[in-house]
Amino acid sequence: MLLLPTFAMFSLTETFADLMLALKIFVLLSIISFVWNHVGNTPLAMVLIVGLSWFILFDYWQFFGGLYILYFLLMMGISGLLVDFFFVTSMRGGSEAKHVDSAIDLAMRQQQLQRARKIVGGIRRRMPR
């Protein structure tokens, strides 16, 4: 009997509705920021904010909500992670060498560079002016 109110309090539909409300707030803030950056803080900007908000948040939310989520994922760089995971890892065979150098190779290159700088510095000191 005690278990039923707990499930009613944490229902998935209410959680989904709360997440949609939070997403709509972020979209509203994005609209405000976009209009203020491009038009300025003018009466025209207020009209544009109200018009765009009504159009995007209420009339065509099914389209623009998914579009905003996709834009947010692209902005955060998750698309690059998905491309690496699905395409780049499947193209590489098991026996091929890695494209990324190891730390040992990097350390050896740094030592060679330091030796070359010492040699060039010694030659420059010996050259007459």
pLDDT, average across residues 55-82: 84
Whether residue 15 lies inside any domain: the answer is yes
Whether residue 57 lies inside any domain: the answer is yes
Q: Using CA atoms, how far apart are residues 97 and 11, in angstroms rounded to an integer?
A: 50
pLDDT digits (tens, 9 = 90+) for 20-60: 889 899 889 989 999 999 999 899 999 999 999 999 888 88
Whether residue 19 lies inside any domain: the answer is yes
* pLDDT > 80? residue 8: no
pLDDT at residue number 129:
64
Residue 62 belongs to domain spanning = 3-76
DSSP 3-state assignment of 2? coil
The count of domains in the chain is 1
Whether residue 31 lies inside any domain: the answer is yes
Whether residue 99 lies inside any domain: the answer is no
pLDDT at residue number 126:
74
pLDDT at residue number 123:
76
pLDDT, average across residues 4-21: 73
pLDDT at residue number 64:
87
31 Cβ contact list (under 8 Å, min separation 6): 49, 52, 53, 56
Contact between 66 and 53 (Cβ < 8 Å): no
pLDDT at residue number 98:
52
pLDDT digits (tens, 9 = 90+) for 83-125: 777 777 666 555 555 555 677 877 888 888 899 888 888 777 7
Q: Using CA atoms, how far apart are residues 73 and 66, in angstroms rounded to an integer?
A: 11
Which of 45, 51, 19 lies closest to 33, judged by CA? Answer: 45
pLDDT at residue number 53:
92
The DSSP call for residue 88 is I
Q: Using CA atoms, how far apart are residues 69 and 61, in angstroms rounded to an integer?
A: 12
